[in-house]
Amino acid sequence: MARNTNASTLIVGKSPGTVENASRLYIADCKSRNLSNATVSLTVIILKGLCDYLEGKPLADVTSHDLRKFFIKKATSTSSATAARYYECLHAFFKFLHKEGFLHSSPMTTVTKPKAPTPLIEPLAQEQIEAMVNACGTGFAGIRDRLILLVLIDCGLRASELCDLTMSDIDWENCIFLIRHGKGDKARRVPFGSVVASTMRQYLARRAEVDTPYLLVTVYGERVDRHRLRSIVKAVAAKAGITHKHMCTHLLRHTFAVSYLRAGGDVFSLQKVLGHSTLTMTRRYSELADSDIQEKHRLYSPGDRLKLKEKAGRRRLR
């Protein structure tokens, strides 16, 4: 019997049968490549969403049309940015199935990536950062929260990177944090300033001995995870009276990047500090910093401040 030519043709004898079974194989492959827990968790969520949408449809019968409708539904129910994120995952998923010999071709080949709007970066002002830091208390939790804010704004770490820091990752002599598992599981060294160092010493004096190697702990001596970290940042912002529609730990990373460039830093060193594999995102920070330069030029333009006499009457062109 003729098979639908729009569907991906399976190689007989190697078929995982269903998308759900194929998903398990791909998740195992992701784990074997030592991808981060966050990446694996997101992949599980995306593939489960696809399985639920397809309602048990055999892998061999999945078409590009099915996937386009799935992306449309995802963009409508959530956002175009989410649909674009799903596209990247499913593109890799079907590419894996093709490479492993489960499919002769990928149904994603003719599917165009959903267009997602470029999010507008609105970093915090220096006064807002100062208000948040000053809003932290003087007890153990307050000093810890102050350290969290200062590290995020001084080093631009991701939430997971800050939570993963251990005592052995601190190079006190050179004032450097060793990030062992950054995005893509890439390690890098990130400097920290004297204010962070001073606050960290105050924090560690209160931290005492706890049964965990991690730097950040709760009042009960347990590790602070990224969900708790997000709650801390939002709570301190609320206490300081700072309102921002995107208040989160990543907002402080954005703020660090823009502040770094405005203070005279260059995009190449910023790229290394942030752990970006390309300059794409770093250039966006640079453009935002440049807009600040344009605003200051309008205020302090040497040419505009000259007191020139305007000559009236006709002038002959030469």
Q: Which residues pair with 10 in a beta bridge?
A: 103
- What order do you get walking across the sheet with 170-171 strand by strand? 170-171, 176-179, 188-191
Determine the residue type at 58. Answer: P
Cβ atoms of 11 and 103 within 8 Å: the answer is yes
183 is catalytic: yes
Alpha helix segments (H runs only) across the chain: 19-32, 37-54, 64-77, 80-99, 126-134, 140-155, 159-164, 194-207, 226-239, 249-262, 267-274, 280-300
- Selecting among 223, 250, 262, 284, the annotated active-site residue is 250
158 is catalytic: yes
227 is catalytic: no
Closest CA to 185 of 40, 27, 22, 6: 40
Question: How many angstroms separate the CA atoms of 18 and 60, rounded?
Answer: 8
113 is catalytic: no
Handedness of CA 164, 269, 133, 206 (dihedral sign): positive
- Selecting among 87, 158, 254, 260, the annotated active-site residue is 158
Report residue 274 as tokens: 């942030």
- Selecting among 183, 188, 207, 234, the annotated active-site residue is 183
- Selecting among 144, 146, 253, 254, the annotated active-site residue is 253
- Selecting among 26, 86, 87, 285, the annotated active-site residue is 285
Question: How many angstroms separate the CA atoms of 126 and 249, rounded?
Answer: 16
User: Quick count: other Cβ atoms within 10 Å of Cβ 94?
Assistant: 26
With a CB cutoff of 8 Å and minimum separation 6, the contacts of 117 are 80, 81
250 is catalytic: yes
Residues serving a catalytic function are 158, 183, 250, 253, 276, 285
